[in-house]
Structure 1
Amino acid sequence: MTTAGSDSTVQPFYRLIAAIVTFCSLGVLSGCSSSMKIGPEAVAGLAPSGTVDMNEVQVAYIGSGGGGTGTLFYRGNTYTFQIAGLGVGGIGASTIDAKGEVYKLNNLSQFPGAYAQGRYGFALGSTSGGDLWMQNESGVIMHLKAKREGLMLSLGGDAVVISMNR
């Protein structure tokens, strides 16, 4: 018998495991398929479908972990969501305030799920910079400009799970 509390703890864990598998799969597939591109060439000539604001806390020492919240602005509506992720690369700890565009989103149901995230950036106190590129299994791509605060050097990739709030 499961309780609501244990169910809410187990679901994010399984989603995170699914994200790691998706991240690895996307990495393998991107080497084999020209349609699985993340980066400027993947969105060249496309108009954004929407925009996002995300706030995340990230800690890294070779491996990395993070979590936070975000808001999607899509077709005149506002949707809130949760973020959880694990990855490789980087050292330090920082808070991240990221804003950017969403591409290839044709339906709200395509937005949640497991994303592969490539990242680079740095934080030294309040001086920071960096870009995040994310793509999920539905082909939705996000390009985010990140402002970090803390002490961190970030270069690597993550598996990130986005869950919509109800």
Structure 2
Amino acid sequence: MFFRQTVVSVAAVLMLAAPAAAQSRSLGPSTGTVRIEQVQAGFIASGEVGGGTLRFRGKSYPITVGGLGIGSIGASRTVASGSVYGLKNRSDFAGAYVQLKEGWAVGGQGGGNIWLRNDKGVTLRLAARRQGLQLSLGADGVVIGFKQ
């Protein structure tokens, strides 16, 4: 039963990830950049917590990041950075995102990709560097907020 659920979860993520990767070419011009540092841990279910910086219209805004999901085994420290698409107002950045991720970490080596999208049409496409011991292929619910 466990194996079957895992296979179904991986297949669902792969079906979602392929369109997300292809869609990044049609997102239009980048409207900002983001850098996130977080710690992730999981054994099938996963959790992550961290923070970072949004650069939008020439200004930097500190952010917080937290989430829960499926499709991760192990623990790692992740530094991810990349482009923001579809951001028209700073306030549209904060909120709940769906995250698709794939990556790995063994010691000081590791990498991967992360795609996030919220209900306001904001999309993040990030390249990740990971340190630790982890394998990730899954989906998460992530909440991003602004630090006070």
Fold shared, TM-score > 0.5 on shorter chain: yes
Structure in which a larger fraction of residues adopt strand: 2
State the distance in 2 between where 1:76 and 1:101 align. Answer: 14
Which shows bigger deviation, 84-93 or 39-48?
Answer: 39-48
Q: Deviations over 1:88-111 (max 9, x none)?
A: 011000000001000000000100
State the distance in 2 between where 1:121 and 1:67 align. Answer: 17
Q: Aligned to 1:41, what secondary structure does the other structure show?
A: helix
Q: Residue type of the partner of 1:58?
A: Q
**Is 1:57 matched up with 2:57?**
no
Equivalent residue number for residue 126 of structure 1: 108
Q: Aligned to 1:70, what secondary structure does the other structure show?
A: strand
Please point out which of 29, 35, 41 is paired with 2:23.
Answer: 41
Structure 1 residue ranges, 4+ long, deviating more than 6 angstroms after superposition: none
Give 5+ residue unaligned stretches, structure 1: 1-26, 32-36
State the distance in 2 between where 1:80 and 1:129 align. Answer: 24
Equivalent residue number for residue 136 of structure 2: 154
Work out the number of aligned pairs and report it: 133
State the distance in 1 between where 2:59 and 2:88 align. Answer: 14
Tell me if structure 2 keeps the 8 A contact 1:38–1:141. no
Equivalent residue number for residue 8 of structure 1: none
Q: Residue type of the partner of 2:129?
A: K
State the distance in 2 between where 1:71 and 1:153 align. Answer: 25
State the distance in 2 between where 1:121 and 1:45 align. Answer: 23
Q: What RMSD over aligned residues (CA atoms) do the two structures have, in Å? A: 1.8
TM-score, scaled relative to structure 2: 0.85
Higher alpha-carbon Rg: 1
Q: Residue type of the partner of 1:55?
A: E
**Is 1:112 matched up with 2:112?**
no
**CA shift for structure 1 position 42:** 4.4
Quick one: percent identity of the two aligned structures? 43
TM-score, scaled relative to structure 1: 0.76
Tell me if structure 1 keeps the 8 A contact 2:24–2:125. no
State the distance in 1 between where 2:22 and 2:146 align. Answer: 26
**CA shift for structure 1 position 116:** 0.2
Q: Aligned to 1:139, what secondary structure does the other structure show?
A: coil
Equivalent residue number for residue 72 of structure 2: 90
